[in-house]
Structure 1
Amino acid sequence: MSEDPKARVLSVVERIPDWIRNDLSSKDRGVRKRAEETLAGMIASALNGDNSS
């Protein structure tokens, strides 16, 4: 895939589920960490060229 990394990340950000968006702003550290790890995984997958999501 020849798409640049910024475009790949933007594509992921545009598809972030509402639960992740909400949990990223949570005051609960555990909830926030789960959302951060999920988002990081989504971004890493996109940067590695995984088109399954």
Structure 2
Amino acid sequence: MTDRSTAIILQTVERAPQWVRRDLCSTDQAARTQAEETLAAMIADALNRTGEPPA
């Protein structure tokens, strides 16, 4: 992974909504899965917008 893609991922995680952050720590498997999928989609979108290949 390049420094650029690392920075993009970090910026995306930093702007993740509070509900995503909260649900990533949830003991409810469905809530955690939804948060993981949402964060993954946000990261993929951010990388696609900059032309970075997925890791």
TM-score by length of 2: 0.80
RMSD: 1.5
Letter in 1 for 2:13: V
TM superposition shift of 1:38: 0.1
2:45 matches 1:45: yes
Segments of 5+ residues of structure 1 without an aligned counterpart are none
Rounded to whole Å, the distance in 1 between the matches of 2:44 and 2:34 is: 15
Q: State the partner residue of 2:25.
A: 25
Segments of 5+ residues of structure 2 without an aligned counterpart are 51-55
2:11 matches 1:6: no
Rounded to whole Å, the distance in 2 between the matches of 1:45 and 1:35 is: 15
Percent of aligned positions with the same letter in both sequences?
A: 52
Find runs of 4+ consecutive structure 1 residues off by over 6 angstroms.
Answer: none
Letter in 2 for 1:15: R
- The number of residues matched between the two structures is 48
Structure with more of its chain in helix, by fraction: 2
TM-score by length of 1: 0.83
